[in-house]
Each structure stands twice: as structure tokens, then as C-alpha cells.
Structure 1
Amino acid sequence: MTATTQPLLRRIARISLVGQIAIGLIAGIALALLAPEAASSIALLGEVFIAALKAVAPVLVLVLVTASIANHQHGQQTHIRPILVMYLIGTLSAALIGVAASFLFPSSLVLSSPATELSPPGGIAEVLRTLLFNVVDNPINALLNANYIGILAWAIALGLVFRHASAGSKQLLGELSDGITRIVRMVIRLAPLGIFGLIAATLADSGLDALLGYLHLLAVLVGCMLLVALVVNPLLVYWKIRRNPYPLVLTCLRGSAITAFFTRSSAANIPVNLQLCKDLNLHEETYSVSIPLGATINMAGAAITISVLSLAAVHTLGIAVDLPTALLLSVVAAVCACGASGVAGGSLLLIPLACGLFGIPNDVAMQVVAIGFIIGIVQDSAETAINSSTDVVFTAAVCWAEDQRQA
């Protein structure tokens, strides 16, 4: 390494992950256009990145969901139940919008190695049968074969059992969850190199049409998120408070969504949301519980990401989807979103679970995850913005509705 390149590498290392991903994206496009022969030879970088994601994602789902359920604390009597109902309705509504938009504006992806042994399900009955057997799969087998539905089932079961464990055991689960999360962050730090290899190899093989496909996919994702933020959420708020919801919605977008967009972490935005709730004169005994809880389970943006990207893979592979299966996907996407990791790109790691409903192999599903990281510069920021700001929107709506009822 020359003395000239060392300062350059140090300057790049000081850039944020978002900036590094942007550099990797631009560098990959430039290499594919200027030297397509060389671009094909660095595909190994993308393959290693996908392999690392495949290795860490199953363990992440198991540990994170188990620890979250086991360490849930029963607080004092608050208005948490109606807030939870709004969280669930909002997340399911977002998943339905993502599914509907995917049918109206289908996206096609460029996959480097399409499945040759694809066995799509014949209808809802076969999907439900596959779902049932995946749920009761052996946990070790589920981890080895990346059966995310089985992993999620075992994580919920273990979490419920560990709720009755000692405080030390719960603490150990929490520390294990933190450790796995740190490993995930380390893997995601490889995203700039992985994206560099993926985009260069893909464009060298398929040309600029692949990039245009990603732009269409990004437009569908962001459009769905804007629809939820500006239409669905205001409707839910009006249902609770029976007055103009937009002053509250716009206040939360300004006070919470903007910072969440740049931090790309619902957990990091919790202090911002708590201060915003205080400024809105909400009940502290309510928002002190609902905001941290919402950062974990209120994931409308994640539900959109999971449903849209999964159906993009389905459309690319030519799999027919009937209405009952589409509705089932909405439910699965909403459930998956509630278990999404708080790290950047955490929702992308749950896409293979939804893809499994359609018999899509894990290798193909992880390529879709990698494409998600390519567009994640905007997708993940927008997703975090809607996830985090909605926590305050729904908390405020319930608190104000309760005040109106008691007045």
C-alpha cells in the first residue's frame, strides 16, 4: 500500500456507512461501465457479503426475538393496550398497501443465479401446509436450512418460557442479544464492499437495465411509505381523536422523522421521541413505555419493505399468487416486521422468511436482500423515519383520546 492511498483510505473510513455505501455504489457503476471485464472478476466481494448475511441472519432472528419476549416487563396500568392495537393495525395496513402496490406496479429484479429447481406452491392450501410443517421443524434443522418461520416459532416459544426464568438468565439473554447485534453491525460494515462487487458484476452482465429496475423498486417502496405516513396514519389518528389529524402528523414528521431518516435507527431515535412526547404534554407513564416498545414492534416501514421485495422476487421468478396467498403474505410480513432487528437493514434480513412462503430458495432470497442493501441508502432511511415517527403519532392519539373521554 502506497503512502498516497493510506490517507485516502483513512478519509473513507471516517465517512458514515451511508456515505461509504454511496461510494461503493458509484464505484461499482463506474467499474461496470468502464471495465466490464474487471467488474466480473470482483463478483467474489458480493458473494462473500451474501454468505455472511446468510450465516448471521438465522441466529439473529432466534436470539433477538427470544430476548425481547423474555425481558418484557409488566409495568403499571397505562394506556398501552390501545396503543398496541394501533401499532398492529398500522403495521398490517402497511403490509397490505405494500402487497397492493406490488400488484399494481410489479417490479422485476436482476438475479445473478436464478433458481433452477424452483417448486412454487399450487395455492393457499399448499402454502398453509408448508407453513405448518415449517413451524414444527426441528430448531437445529431450522437454523441449518434458514427456515425462518420455524426459527420465529421457536424464538417465541423460548421467549415465553424464559419469561419465568431468573433475572440472571434474562440478563444473559439480553447480553447475548447485544452480542449478536454487534456481530450483525460488523457484517453490515462490509456492505460497501459487498455492494461494490454486486453492482459491478450485475451491471457488467446485464447493463443499466438492472439499475433502472432498482429505481422502480425504490419508487414503489418510498411511495408506499409516503402513503402510510400521509394517508393511513392520519385516518387511524382521526379514528381515535375525531378531529383534524394533520397538525399532529406533520409535527411528528418534523420532530421525529427527520432525525430518524439520518440516524437510520429507531433505537437511537428513542430520546428524540421521548422529548417530543414531553413537548406534546403526553402522559409520561404511557410514553415512557410505548416509545421504547414501539421502537421494537411498530414497524410499518419494515412491513412494506418485506412485502414489496418478496413480491418483487415472486414476480421476477414468474410465480402466480392468488388473493388468499397475498393476504397471508400481508400477515406474515406484519409479524416479521414486529421482529425486525433495530440495526440498519434489519428488515431486509427477514425477507427470506416471507420468500419461503412461495418456495423461493434461500440463495435466491439472499440475493433479494443484497439488492435491498443497494437501494438501502434511501429505503432504510425512509423506513426508519416512518417507523419512529409513527410511535409518537399513535401514542399521542391514544393519550388525547383518553383525555377527551375523561373530560
Structure 2
Amino acid sequence: MNKNSLVSRYFNGNLVLQISVGIVLGVIVGAFFKEVASSVSILGKLFVDALKAIAPILVFILVSTAIATKEMGVQTNIKPIIFLYLVGTFLAAFVSIIVSYLFPTTLVLLKANEPLNPPDSVVSVLQGVLFNIVDNPVHALLTGNFMGILAWAIGLGIAMHYSSAETKKVFFDVSTGVTKIVQFIIRLAPFGIFGLVADTFAKTGMASLLSYGRILVLLVGTMLFMLFVINPLIVFIKTKKNPFPLLFICIKESAITAFFTRSSAANIPVNMNLCKKLNLDENTYSVSIPLGATTNMAGAAVTITILTLATVHTLGINVDIFTALLLSVIASLAACGASGVAGGSLLLIPLACSLFGITNDIALQVVAIGFVIGVVQDSMETALNSSTDVLFTACCASKS
């Protein structure tokens, strides 16, 4: 493909800028050209359907590959860091639940074709989870049963962890291929978001924009709370030292870069260099930083939990404390399986929504809303995730 061609320039262009243009054009068309908005709505439907098609496969492949190819028991001094990664991710989901109940937020959703079947108690939730877990794996993929997909992915990953290096390489290659398909779909997000915003704005007016703003403030506020309150508290409990000098170094030299790259994987070299400057044990950080880029996902847990509960509030579904705690666990597991591409955590929202009997038609509308606000949300999420990799590693790997 000619590098100067229009298509090539588009696919190599700034996705944030392209999505911003799509949002602005969608608002203009939805406000002043309602007939045109109805016609371009097909772009939004195609985008949502593409996400709906790839999301089950993405979850299955990423989770199974992560477990099958993970090195276990090689670095004993990595265990405390992994523990902090898991604790931080779970606390992010738990704090998000508290925030969502203190500041309940609703979304503007279009009507779905499928009837809702919300659980009426924690017992029915657990029954639903158990029956979904033992679903036929092919049927789970075809119907978008994310609990079944997650269970079979974990099982396959554990079983294949003991396979040959060549087999693991096949898993890795398949995971890379699926990720490239997701990247292609996400590159088409500006067109899909243009159609979605135009159609939604034509039908709901300013209400949709206001709901976008409210949920974005809640997301960013919760991530900042994790960054400046919860993470320093974890570090203080671990080290018994003032965590803020280290925190500010991580923000300055990791979070700011990650905010603009919007990729934890792309920020790995930056974090490795920062660990070297902090005089950390290279044998530890050379493992913990790449591992953190895929498993330390507090920002993703915040995104999944808050957007899921915003959907729950919108649909008027009652959630008891035990189901909320179960959501914390599910969101944490889902976050650890988030794709490394921009907006990857959004594709795991249907998994959390399935816990409440929310259909994929509705869940994928929420995913699309996530892409609309992702211009800021995904940048903040990556900044939190990536800077925390260094912060937690420094707690356990200092040579001084």
C-alpha cells in the first residue's frame, strides 16, 4: 500500500484526533440533519456488530494464551509484586463499586431487541454463573456467554501450560493475530462513533452528551483517587515509608508518557529505564514490568466496573452487596485479560454485564459509549496502569 495514499494516511493517523472529529461531525449531523443521521446510523450498527463478533473470541484467546504461556515459579522474588498487582486491581474494582453507589450515574441507551432477565437474588446470580460456566464452549462462543468463555479459557490455559514450546508459540501467534483484527476494528471506530453519535443525538438531543460527561467525570475521578490515595496507601503499608516522593517520580516519568501513548506495552521501555534510574534489581524489574503491562490493570478494573454499574442503574436492576463483591472479582479477572490495544478494556464490559442478565445488544452499546469518551478515559487508564507497574515494583525490588 502506498504510504501516501488516503487509506494509509488514515490508518497511520492519530486515532484520538480521528475519534474527536467523528464525535463533532456526529453531533452536527444529529442536531441539524436528522434524515442523514438515520442513514449514517448503519455505520454505528456495523461497528457494534463487529465488536459483538470479535469480543467472545478475544476474551477466549487472550485469557487462555496468557495462562498457557505464563512463566511460573521462575522468579521467587516476583511474588510480592504480583500480589500487589492483584490487590491493586481488586481494590480498584471495589472502590469503583463504592463510587458508583455514592454517585449513581445513568446512560442514554437505545432500546434493545432482546428481553432483560435480571437475577432476583445472589443465589440466582451464583446459579446462573455455575450453569454458564459448564456451557458447551462452542455454544458459549456462539451466544456470547462470557462466563462460560472465561471458564473454558482458564481451563484450556492451565491444561496447555504444560505443553511444548512450539504449541505455546501457536497460542501466542493466534493471540497476536486476533489482536491485530481488534486493532483493525478499533481503527474504524471514528466511522462507527460518527454513526452512533449522529443517531443517538438525533433521537435524544443533549441528554446523551450530558450522560457522556457525567460518566467521564466519574471514571477519571475514581482513577485519580486510586492514583493519589489507594496506591500510596498500599505502598505505605508495604514499606512503612512516605510513598509520595516515589509516586511523583512515577507520575512525572511514566504516567505522563503513558497518557499520550495510550499503550502500557508501548510504555515498557520507559518504565524499564525508570527502574534502572531508581536502582532497582534488574532481575526483578525485567520480569515485573512486562508482566505488569498485561496483568496490573487497576484502570481497566475501574472502567469495567463503573460502566457496568452505570448500565445496571440505567436499567433499574437492583444489586445486593454479595453480587457487588462478585462483580469486583469478575471485573478484576476481566481486567487482567484486557487486550493491550487502545480501548481493549472496553471489550470486556459484556463479560461483567452478563453477571446481571444484561444482553449483549445493550452491553455493546455501552462499549460504544466507552469509545466516545475513550479520548480521555483510555489515556487516564493507561497512565494509572503503567505508572503503578513501577510504583509497586519499586516497593519490592530496591537494592538500596
User: Given the two structures, how large is their TM-score scaled by the length of structure 2?
Assistant: 0.96
Q: Residue in 1 aligned with 2:50?
A: 52
For the aligned residues, what is the CA RMSD? Answer: 1.6
**Alpha-carbon separation, structure 1, partners of 2:392 and 2:39:** 50
| Superposition pairs of residues 33-48 of structure 1, within 5 angstroms | 33-48=31-46
- For the Cα contact (< 8 Å) 1:78–1:285, is it kept in 2? no
Q: What's the counterpart of residue 149 of structure 2?
A: 151
The CA deviation at 1:262 is 1.0
- Give the partner amino acid of 2:310: A
CA–CA distance in structure 1, aligned partners of residues 217 and 121 of structure 2: 29
Deviation at 1:8, TM superposition (A): 8.1
Check conservation: 2:11, 2:187, Cα contact below 8 A: no
- Give the conservation status (yes or no) of the 8 Å contact 2:114–2:359: no
Partner of 1:42, secondary structure, is helix
The answer to whether residue 216 in structure 2 is matched with residue 218 in structure 1 is: yes
Question: Which residue of the partner structure matches residue 305 of structure 1?
Answer: 303
In structure 1, the partner of 2:158 is 160
Separation in structure 1 between the aligned mates of residue 94 and residue 228 of structure 2, nearest angstrom: 16
> Match for 1:129 among 127, 130, 134?
127
Match of 2:394 in 1: 396
Alignment correspondent of 2:67: 69
- After superposition, residues 308-387 of structure 1 pair within 5 angstroms as 308-387=306-385
Q: Quote how far apart the aligned CAs of 1:119 are.
A: 1.4
- Return the alpha-carbon distance in structure 2 between the equivalents of residues 219 and 115 of structure 1: 30
Q: Does 1:181 align with 2:179?
A: yes
Opposite residue 295 of structure 2, the aligned amino acid is I
Query: 1:261 is matched with which residue?
Result: 259
* 3-state SS, counterpart of residue 15 of structure 1: coil
331-340 or 220-229, which moves further after superposition? 331-340
Give secondary structure in 1 for the equivalent of 2:346. Answer: helix
Which one-letter code corresponds to 1:292 in the other structure? P
The 3-state SS of whatever aligns with 2:397 is helix
Q: Contact conserved, 1:91 with 1:303, CA < 8 A, in 2?
A: yes
Counterpart of 1:292 in structure 2 is 290
**Separation in 2, partners of 1:75, 1:316:** 45
**Alignment CA distance shift 1:358-1:261 (3 Å):** same
Tell me by how many angstroms 1:15 deviates. 3.0
Task: State which of 248, 251, 266 in structure 1 corresponds to 2:249.
Answer: 251
Name 2:240's counterpart in structure 1. Answer: 242
Instruction: Give the secondary-structure state (helix, strand or coil) at the position aligned to 1:292.
Output: helix
1:23-38 alignment, distance < 5 Å: 23-38=21-36
Quote the offset at 1:115 in angstroms.
Answer: 5.8
Unpaired runs of 5+ in structure 2? none
Q: Which residue of 2 aligns with 1:3?
A: none
Q: Greater CA deviation, 372-381 or 11-20?
A: 11-20
Q: 1:95 pairs with 93, 96, 118, which one?
A: 93
Residue identity (%) = 57
Amino acid aligned to 2:210: L
* Structure 2 letter corresponding to 1:147: N
CA change 1:14–1:156 in 2 (3 A) is closer
**Aligned pair partner of 2:136 in 132, 135, 138:** 138
Cα deviations by residue, 1:122-174 (Å, 9 ceiling, x for unpaired): 11111011111111111001100111111111111111111111111111111
TM-score, structure 1 as length reference: 0.95
How far apart, in 2, do the equivalents of 1:159 and 1:128 lie? 23
CA apart distance, 1:74: 3.7
Contact 1:78 1:286 in 2 (8 A): no
* Larger displacement relative to structure 2 (270-279 or 76-85): 76-85
Q: 1:84 to 1:14 in 2, by over 3 A?
A: closer
Secondary structure (helix, strand or coil) at the match of 1:285 reads helix
Match in the other structure for 1:204: 202
Shift of 1:371: 0.6
State the one-letter code of the partner of 1:299.
M
Distance (Å, rounded) in 2 between the aligned partners of 1:380 and 1:395 = 23
Distance 1:65 1:13, change over 3 A: closer
User: Could you tell me how far 1:37 is from its partner in structure 2?
Assistant: 2.2
Q: SS in structure 2 opposite 1:251?
A: helix
**Which moved further from structure 2: 75-84 or 238-247?**
75-84
- SS of 2:106's equivalent in the other structure is coil
Distance in 2 (CA, whole Å) between partners of 1:10 and 1:326 is 45
2:222 partner letter:
C
Indicate the larger mover: 28-37 or 266-275.
Answer: 28-37
Mark the CA change 1:54 to 1:116 in structure 2 (over 3 Å): closer, same or farther: closer
Deviation at 1:77, TM superposition (A): 3.6
> Deviation of residue 58 (structure 1)?
0.7
Counterpart for residue 106 of structure 2: 108
Residues 50-78 of structure 1: CA distance to partner in whole angstroms, max 9, x if unpaired? Answer: 00001111111111111111111246444
Q: 1:32 offset after TM fit, Å?
A: 1.3
Moved more, 67-76 or 186-195: 67-76
Give the ranges of 4+ consecutive aligned residues of structure 1 lying more than 4 Å apart after TM superposition: 6-14
Q: Is the 8 A contact 2:349 2:363 kept in 1?
A: yes
Q: How does 1:78-93 map to 2 (within 5 A)?
A: 78-93=76-91
CA contact (8 A) 1:40 1:205 kept: no
C-alpha contact 1:115 1:361 (8 A) present in aligned 2: no
Q: In structure 2, what is the Cα distance between the partners aligned to 1:280 and 1:78?
A: 21
Distance in 1 (CA, whole Å) between partners of 2:6 and 2:24 is: 17
- Most deviating of 22-31 and 116-125: 116-125
CA distance in 1, matches of 2:305, 2:11: 34
Q: 1:9 Cα deviation (Å)?
A: 7.6
Question: 1:99 offset after TM fit, Å?
Answer: 0.8
* Inter-partner Cα distance in structure 2 for 1:61 and 1:7: 34
Contact map agreement 2:223 2:380 (CA 8 A) in 1: yes
